[in-house]
Amino acid sequence: MIKIGYGAGHGYHTPGKRTPAGEREWSFNNKVARAFAKEIALYKGVIAKRFDDPTGESDVPLLVRTNGANSWGADYYISFHHNALAGQWGNHTGVETYIYTNPLPQSVELANAIHPAVVNAYGLADRGIKRGNLHIVRETEMPAILIEGGFMDSTIDIVKLKNDQVLANVGKSVAQSLAKFLGLKKAVGSVQDTPVQTPNQPPKIPPTQAPTPTPNKPPMSSSKLVEDGSWGPATTRALQRHYGTTVDGIISGQPRNPSTENIPSARFGSGGSQLIRAMQKDLGTTVDGYISYPSQMIRALQKKLGTTEDGIISRPSQVVKAMQRALNNGTF
Ligand SMILES: [Zn+2]
Protein backbone atom coordinates (compact mmCIF):
# COMPACT_ATOMS: atom_id res chain seq x y z
CA MET A 1 0.00 0.00 0.00
CA ILE A 2 1.59 3.27 -1.11
CA LYS A 3 0.85 6.12 1.29
CA ILE A 4 0.31 9.62 -0.05
CA GLY A 5 0.28 12.52 2.37
CA TYR A 6 -1.26 15.73 1.08
CA GLY A 7 -2.65 19.00 2.26
CA ALA A 8 -4.15 22.32 1.31
CA GLY A 9 -1.77 25.12 2.26
CA HIS A 10 -2.72 27.35 5.24
CA GLY A 11 -6.21 27.60 6.78
CA TYR A 12 -9.29 29.58 5.83
CA HIS A 13 -8.60 32.28 8.42
CA THR A 14 -4.83 32.58 7.90
CA PRO A 15 -3.99 36.31 7.68
CA GLY A 16 -2.68 37.46 4.31
CA LYS A 17 -3.02 34.55 1.93
CA ARG A 18 -5.90 36.05 0.02
CA THR A 19 -6.60 37.79 -3.25
CA PRO A 20 -6.70 41.59 -3.42
CA ALA A 21 -10.51 41.11 -3.42
CA GLY A 22 -10.35 39.08 -0.21
CA GLU A 23 -10.84 35.50 -1.43
CA ARG A 24 -8.92 33.02 0.72
CA GLU A 25 -6.01 30.99 -0.66
CA TRP A 26 -7.13 28.00 1.42
CA SER A 27 -10.45 27.89 -0.44
CA PHE A 28 -8.68 27.46 -3.77
CA ASN A 29 -6.16 25.00 -2.29
CA ASN A 30 -8.98 23.01 -0.67
CA LYS A 31 -10.87 22.55 -3.94
CA VAL A 32 -7.78 21.10 -5.60
CA ALA A 33 -7.01 18.89 -2.58
CA ARG A 34 -10.55 17.50 -2.49
CA ALA A 35 -10.55 16.71 -6.20
CA PHE A 36 -7.16 15.03 -5.81
CA ALA A 37 -8.45 12.85 -2.96
CA LYS A 38 -11.60 11.90 -4.86
CA GLU A 39 -9.62 10.75 -7.90
CA ILE A 40 -6.77 8.94 -6.13
CA ALA A 41 -9.37 6.96 -4.14
CA LEU A 42 -10.33 5.20 -7.38
CA TYR A 43 -6.96 3.47 -7.56
CA LYS A 44 -5.82 0.23 -5.95
CA GLY A 45 -2.75 -0.11 -3.77
CA VAL A 46 -2.72 3.48 -2.57
CA ILE A 47 -4.04 5.36 0.44
CA ALA A 48 -4.09 9.14 0.85
CA LYS A 49 -4.18 11.09 4.09
CA ARG A 50 -4.77 14.80 4.49
CA PHE A 51 -2.60 16.78 6.91
CA ASP A 52 -4.31 20.17 7.00
CA ASP A 53 -7.68 20.79 8.67
CA PRO A 54 -10.26 19.78 6.02
CA THR A 55 -12.75 22.24 7.54
CA GLY A 56 -10.23 25.06 7.18
CA GLU A 57 -11.08 26.28 10.69
CA SER A 58 -7.55 25.90 12.00
CA ASP A 59 -4.27 26.50 10.22
CA VAL A 60 -2.42 23.32 11.22
CA PRO A 61 1.20 24.36 11.95
CA LEU A 62 3.70 23.19 9.34
CA LEU A 63 5.66 21.19 11.90
CA VAL A 64 2.51 19.31 12.90
CA ARG A 65 1.85 18.54 9.22
CA THR A 66 5.35 17.25 8.53
CA ASN A 67 5.61 15.35 11.82
CA GLY A 68 2.23 13.80 11.02
CA ALA A 69 3.26 12.73 7.52
CA ASN A 70 6.60 11.40 8.83
CA SER A 71 5.11 9.34 11.63
CA TRP A 72 2.30 8.05 9.42
CA GLY A 73 5.06 6.86 7.07
CA ALA A 74 3.91 8.66 3.94
CA ASP A 75 5.82 7.52 0.87
CA TYR A 76 5.15 10.80 -0.97
CA TYR A 77 3.80 14.22 0.00
CA ILE A 78 1.97 16.79 -2.10
CA SER A 79 1.14 20.28 -0.87
CA PHE A 80 -1.40 22.40 -2.76
CA HIS A 81 -0.97 26.17 -2.84
CA HIS A 82 -1.68 29.23 -4.93
CA ASN A 83 0.84 31.98 -5.40
CA ALA A 84 0.93 35.70 -4.72
CA LEU A 85 3.40 38.32 -5.85
CA ALA A 86 2.70 41.55 -4.00
CA GLY A 87 -0.99 41.31 -3.14
CA GLN A 88 -1.79 43.85 -5.85
CA TRP A 89 -3.41 43.01 -9.16
CA GLY A 90 -0.90 42.54 -11.94
CA ASN A 91 -0.37 40.50 -15.07
CA HIS A 92 2.30 38.15 -13.70
CA THR A 93 1.18 34.59 -14.36
CA GLY A 94 1.94 30.92 -14.27
CA VAL A 95 2.31 27.65 -12.42
CA GLU A 96 5.38 26.45 -10.55
CA THR A 97 6.22 23.34 -8.55
CA TYR A 98 8.69 23.41 -5.68
CA ILE A 99 11.07 20.74 -4.44
CA TYR A 100 13.64 21.16 -1.67
CA THR A 101 16.95 22.89 -2.44
CA ASN A 102 18.74 19.56 -1.87
CA PRO A 103 15.95 17.24 -2.97
CA LEU A 104 15.75 13.48 -2.78
CA PRO A 105 16.21 12.09 -6.31
CA GLN A 106 12.63 10.83 -6.12
CA SER A 107 11.33 14.33 -5.41
CA VAL A 108 12.78 15.42 -8.73
CA GLU A 109 11.14 12.47 -10.46
CA LEU A 110 7.83 13.17 -8.73
CA ALA A 111 7.92 16.82 -9.78
CA ASN A 112 8.83 15.86 -13.36
CA ALA A 113 5.90 13.44 -13.43
CA ILE A 114 3.28 15.81 -12.05
CA HIS A 115 4.22 19.39 -12.97
CA PRO A 116 3.41 19.19 -16.72
CA ALA A 117 -0.07 17.83 -15.91
CA VAL A 118 -0.65 20.71 -13.51
CA VAL A 119 0.41 23.32 -16.07
CA ASN A 120 -1.86 21.71 -18.63
CA ALA A 121 -4.85 21.53 -16.29
CA TYR A 122 -4.62 25.23 -15.36
CA GLY A 123 -3.90 26.23 -18.92
CA LEU A 124 -1.45 28.83 -17.60
CA ALA A 125 2.19 29.62 -18.32
CA ASP A 126 4.81 27.12 -17.16
CA ARG A 127 7.18 28.76 -14.67
CA GLY A 128 8.96 25.47 -14.19
CA ILE A 129 10.11 23.26 -11.34
CA LYS A 130 11.91 25.30 -8.71
CA ARG A 131 13.99 24.55 -5.65
CA GLY A 132 13.22 26.23 -2.36
CA ASN A 133 14.08 25.89 1.30
CA LEU A 134 10.42 25.48 2.24
CA HIS A 135 9.41 23.73 5.45
CA ILE A 136 6.98 21.26 3.88
CA VAL A 137 9.46 19.94 1.30
CA ARG A 138 12.44 20.16 3.70
CA GLU A 139 11.04 18.50 6.81
CA THR A 140 9.11 15.72 5.09
CA GLU A 141 11.28 12.59 5.09
CA MET A 142 9.73 11.31 1.89
CA PRO A 143 9.80 12.71 -1.66
CA ALA A 144 7.71 15.87 -1.57
CA ILE A 145 6.47 18.63 -3.85
CA LEU A 146 4.64 21.91 -3.32
CA ILE A 147 2.46 23.09 -6.19
CA GLU A 148 1.87 26.82 -6.66
CA GLY A 149 -1.06 26.80 -9.05
CA GLY A 150 -1.15 30.29 -10.45
CA PHE A 151 -1.21 33.72 -8.81
CA MET A 152 -4.12 34.88 -6.67
CA ASP A 153 -3.17 38.49 -7.43
CA SER A 154 -2.94 38.02 -11.18
CA THR A 155 -5.74 39.30 -13.35
CA ILE A 156 -4.90 36.43 -15.73
CA ASP A 157 -4.68 33.57 -13.24
CA ILE A 158 -7.61 34.58 -11.01
CA VAL A 159 -10.00 33.67 -13.84
CA LYS A 160 -8.82 30.06 -13.57
CA LEU A 161 -8.75 30.06 -9.78
CA LYS A 162 -12.36 31.19 -9.57
CA ASN A 163 -13.44 28.42 -11.94
CA ASP A 164 -14.30 25.36 -9.83
CA GLN A 165 -14.19 23.15 -12.92
CA VAL A 166 -10.56 24.12 -13.51
CA LEU A 167 -9.59 23.47 -9.87
CA ALA A 168 -11.37 20.09 -9.90
CA ASN A 169 -9.58 19.16 -13.08
CA VAL A 170 -6.23 20.16 -11.56
CA GLY A 171 -6.75 17.86 -8.57
CA LYS A 172 -7.84 15.05 -10.83
CA SER A 173 -4.84 15.57 -13.14
CA VAL A 174 -2.42 15.49 -10.20
CA ALA A 175 -3.95 12.19 -9.05
CA GLN A 176 -3.83 10.70 -12.54
CA SER A 177 -0.25 11.72 -13.20
CA LEU A 178 0.77 10.45 -9.75
CA ALA A 179 -1.01 7.14 -10.44
CA LYS A 180 0.83 6.84 -13.73
CA PHE A 181 4.14 7.63 -12.02
CA LEU A 182 3.48 4.94 -9.40
CA GLY A 183 2.11 2.43 -11.93
CA LEU A 184 -1.25 2.25 -10.12
CA LYS A 185 -4.34 0.65 -11.61
CA LYS A 186 -7.92 1.68 -11.00
CA ALA A 187 -9.98 -0.64 -8.82
CA VAL A 188 -12.26 -3.07 -10.66
CA GLY A 189 -15.84 -1.80 -10.70
CA SER A 190 -14.78 1.82 -10.46
CA VAL A 191 -17.22 3.85 -12.55
CA GLN A 192 -14.42 5.79 -14.17
CA ASP A 193 -13.03 2.57 -15.68
CA THR A 194 -15.92 2.57 -18.14
CA PRO A 195 -14.75 4.31 -21.28
CA VAL A 196 -16.72 7.36 -22.29
CA GLN A 197 -19.32 6.16 -24.79
CA THR A 198 -20.28 8.05 -27.90
CA PRO A 199 -24.06 8.27 -28.44
CA ASN A 200 -24.08 5.96 -31.50
CA GLN A 201 -22.22 3.10 -29.87
CA PRO A 202 -24.12 0.33 -28.17
CA PRO A 203 -23.33 0.29 -24.47
CA LYS A 204 -20.18 -1.75 -23.90
CA ILE A 205 -21.54 -3.35 -20.75
CA PRO A 206 -25.21 -4.37 -20.93
CA PRO A 207 -26.94 -3.57 -17.62
CA THR A 208 -27.46 -7.28 -16.86
CA GLN A 209 -23.72 -7.86 -17.08
CA ALA A 210 -22.71 -4.87 -15.06
CA PRO A 211 -19.84 -5.90 -12.80
CA THR A 212 -20.92 -6.76 -9.32
CA PRO A 213 -19.44 -4.21 -6.99
CA THR A 214 -16.62 -5.72 -5.00
CA PRO A 215 -17.12 -5.27 -1.29
CA ASN A 216 -14.83 -2.64 0.12
CA LYS A 217 -11.71 -4.46 1.08
CA PRO A 218 -10.23 -3.40 4.39
CA PRO A 219 -7.00 -1.51 3.77
CA MET A 220 -3.93 -3.71 3.85
CA SER A 221 -2.18 -3.69 7.15
CA SER A 222 0.11 -0.69 7.17
CA SER A 223 2.90 -2.95 8.41
CA LYS A 224 3.01 -4.63 4.98
CA LEU A 225 5.61 -3.09 2.73
CA VAL A 226 5.09 -2.45 -0.95
CA GLU A 227 7.49 -4.87 -2.65
CA ASP A 228 8.68 -2.36 -5.23
CA GLY A 229 12.45 -2.57 -4.79
CA SER A 230 12.69 1.03 -3.60
CA TRP A 231 14.37 1.42 -0.22
CA GLY A 232 12.13 4.21 1.09
CA PRO A 233 11.25 5.36 4.61
CA ALA A 234 8.67 2.58 5.17
CA THR A 235 11.23 -0.13 4.37
CA THR A 236 13.79 1.54 6.62
CA ARG A 237 11.28 1.74 9.47
CA ALA A 238 10.49 -1.99 9.08
CA LEU A 239 14.23 -2.73 9.25
CA GLN A 240 14.63 -0.46 12.26
CA ARG A 241 11.82 -2.29 14.05
CA HIS A 242 13.41 -5.61 13.06
CA TYR A 243 16.80 -4.64 14.45
CA GLY A 244 15.49 -2.66 17.41
CA THR A 245 17.17 0.61 16.44
CA THR A 246 15.50 4.05 16.54
CA VAL A 247 12.47 3.96 14.23
CA ASP A 248 12.62 7.17 12.17
CA GLY A 249 12.65 5.90 8.58
CA ILE A 250 16.03 7.50 7.89
CA ILE A 251 19.42 6.02 7.09
CA SER A 252 21.54 8.86 8.37
CA GLY A 253 25.13 9.93 7.75
CA GLN A 254 25.73 8.21 4.43
CA PRO A 255 28.36 8.92 1.76
CA ARG A 256 26.88 10.06 -1.54
CA ASN A 257 27.49 7.32 -4.09
CA PRO A 258 25.54 5.59 -6.89
CA SER A 259 24.03 3.15 -4.35
CA THR A 260 22.95 5.62 -1.68
CA GLU A 261 21.56 7.93 -4.38
CA ASN A 262 19.18 5.10 -5.20
CA ILE A 263 18.02 4.83 -1.58
CA PRO A 264 15.30 7.45 -0.95
CA SER A 265 15.53 7.03 2.84
CA ALA A 266 19.30 7.67 2.91
CA ARG A 267 20.56 11.03 4.13
CA PHE A 268 23.99 12.23 3.08
CA GLY A 269 26.50 13.25 5.69
CA SER A 270 28.94 11.62 8.04
CA GLY A 271 28.72 9.43 11.10
CA GLY A 272 26.99 6.47 9.54
CA SER A 273 23.73 4.83 10.53
CA GLN A 274 22.80 2.86 13.60
CA LEU A 275 20.62 0.63 11.41
CA ILE A 276 23.41 -0.08 8.92
CA ARG A 277 25.74 -0.92 11.82
CA ALA A 278 23.13 -3.40 13.12
CA MET A 279 22.75 -4.93 9.67
CA GLN A 280 26.52 -5.19 9.23
CA LYS A 281 26.85 -6.90 12.59
CA ASP A 282 24.06 -9.30 11.67
CA LEU A 283 25.55 -10.07 8.25
CA GLY A 284 29.08 -10.47 9.64
CA THR A 285 30.71 -7.69 7.61
CA THR A 286 32.83 -4.71 8.71
CA VAL A 287 30.78 -2.57 11.11
CA ASP A 288 31.16 1.10 10.11
CA GLY A 289 27.57 2.23 9.53
CA TYR A 290 28.17 3.21 5.89
CA ILE A 291 26.78 1.87 2.62
CA SER A 292 29.89 2.16 0.48
CA TYR A 293 30.08 1.57 -3.27
CA PRO A 294 30.19 -1.31 -3.81
CA SER A 295 29.33 -2.51 -0.33
CA GLN A 296 30.45 -5.66 1.42
CA MET A 297 27.25 -5.53 3.50
CA ILE A 298 24.97 -5.26 0.44
CA ARG A 299 26.85 -8.18 -1.13
CA ALA A 300 26.25 -10.25 2.00
CA LEU A 301 22.59 -9.23 1.96
CA GLN A 302 22.36 -10.28 -1.69
CA LYS A 303 23.94 -13.62 -0.84
CA LYS A 304 21.51 -14.15 2.03
CA LEU A 305 18.50 -13.31 -0.14
CA GLY A 306 19.68 -15.08 -3.29
CA THR A 307 19.94 -12.10 -5.65
CA THR A 308 22.87 -11.03 -7.87
CA GLU A 309 25.92 -10.38 -5.69
CA ASP A 310 27.33 -7.09 -6.95
CA GLY A 311 27.25 -5.04 -3.74
CA ILE A 312 25.27 -2.30 -5.47
CA ILE A 313 21.77 -0.86 -4.94
CA SER A 314 20.03 0.02 -8.19
CA ARG A 315 16.51 1.33 -8.52
CA PRO A 316 14.37 -0.61 -8.46
CA SER A 317 16.64 -3.07 -6.71
CA GLN A 318 16.21 -6.84 -6.72
CA VAL A 319 17.81 -7.23 -3.32
CA VAL A 320 15.60 -4.50 -1.80
CA LYS A 321 12.54 -6.19 -3.30
CA ALA A 322 13.64 -9.54 -1.83
CA MET A 323 14.27 -7.84 1.52
CA GLN A 324 10.80 -6.25 1.47
CA ARG A 325 9.23 -9.64 0.71
CA ALA A 326 11.20 -11.32 3.51
CA LEU A 327 10.22 -8.55 5.95
CA ASN A 328 6.57 -8.94 4.95
CA ASN A 329 6.73 -12.72 5.34
CA GLY A 330 8.60 -12.59 8.61
CA THR A 331 11.49 -14.54 7.07
CA PHE A 332 14.11 -11.79 7.12
ZN1 LIG B 1 0.29 29.26 0.05
175 and 38 fall within a common domain? yes
188 within some domain: no
| Final residue before a domain boundary, out of 161, 182, 203 | 182
Question: How far, in Å, CA of 70 to CA of 141, rounded?
Answer: 6
Give the burial string for 246-255 (b: 16+ CB within 10 Å, else e).
ebbbbbbbbe
Question: How far, in Å, CA of 126 to CA of 120, rounded?
Answer: 9
44 and 150 fall within a common domain? yes
| Options 39, 148, 227, 261, the catalytic residue | 148
160 and 289 fall within a common domain? no
Q: Which residues contact 288 (CB under 8 A, 6 or more apart)?
A: 272, 277, 280
238 within some domain: yes
228 within some domain: no
3-state secondary structure of 267: strand
167 and 28 fall within a common domain? yes
Q: Are 92 and 155 in contact (CB under 8 A)?
A: no
Strands 144-151, 95-99: pairing kind: antiparallel
- Tell me the backbone φ, ψ of residue 129, rounded to 5 degrees: -95, 125
217 within some domain: no
Which spans in the chain are helix H? Answer: 25-40, 62-72, 105-122, 135-138, 157-161, 164-182, 233-243, 274-283, 296-305, 318-329
107 within some domain: yes
Q: What's residue 223's pLDDT?
A: 65
162 and 56 fall within a common domain? yes
254 within some domain: yes
Separation of CA 182 and ligand 1 centre (Å): 26
Separation of CA 42 and ligand 1 centre (Å): 27
| Final residue before a domain boundary, out of 163, 182, 201 | 182
Separation of CA 1 and ligand 1 centre (Å): 29
12 and 130 fall within a common domain? yes
Q: What's residue 329's pLDDT?
A: 87
Q: What's residue 190's pLDDT?
A: 60
In the residue annotation, 148 being an active-site residue is answered as: yes
Separation of CA 97 and ligand 1 centre (Å): 12
- Give per-residue pLDDT as tens, 202-251: 444 444 444 444 444 344 445 688 999 999 999 999 998 888 888 889 99
Separation of CA 172 and ligand 1 centre (Å): 20
Separation of CA 61 and ligand 1 centre (Å): 13
Q: What is the CATH number of the domain that holds 178?
A: 3.40.630.40
Separation of CA 41 and ligand 1 centre (Å): 25
Closest CA to 98 of 87, 88, 83, 120: 83
Q: What's residue 211's pLDDT?
A: 45
Neighbouring C-beta atoms of residue 81, cutoff 10 Å: 25
> What range defines the domain where residue 111 resides?
2-182
Q: Which residues contact 248 (CB under 8 A, 6 or more apart)?
A: 70, 141, 237, 240
Q: What's residue 245's pLDDT?
A: 85
Separation of CA 83 and ligand 1 centre (Å): 6
Q: Which residues contact 206 (CB under 8 A, 6 or more apart)?
A: none
35 and 158 fall within a common domain? yes
Rg (CA), the chain: 22
Give the burial string for 106-140 (b: 16+ CB within 10 Å, else e).
bbbbbbebbbbbbbebbebeebebeeeebbbbbbb
Q: What's residue 268's pLDDT?
A: 86
Query: Mean pLDDT in runs of 10 for the chain (332 residues)?
Result: 96 94 96 98 96 94 96 97 94 97 94 98 97 96 97 97 98 98 85 43 42 42 80 92 88 94 90 94 93 96 95 95 92 88
194 within some domain: no
Question: How far, in Å, CA of 125 to CA of 6, rounded?
Answer: 24
Separation of CA 82 and ligand 1 centre (Å): 5
Question: For the chain, what is the domain count?
Answer: 2
Separation of CA 10 and ligand 1 centre (Å): 6
Q: What's residue 220's pLDDT?
A: 40
206 within some domain: no
Question: How far, in Å, CA of 90 to CA of 10, rounded?
Answer: 23
Separation of CA 84 and ligand 1 centre (Å): 8
Side-chain-facing half-sphere of 163: CA atoms under 13 Å: 14
| Final residue before a domain boundary, out of 182, 203, 219 | 182
26 and 168 fall within a common domain? yes
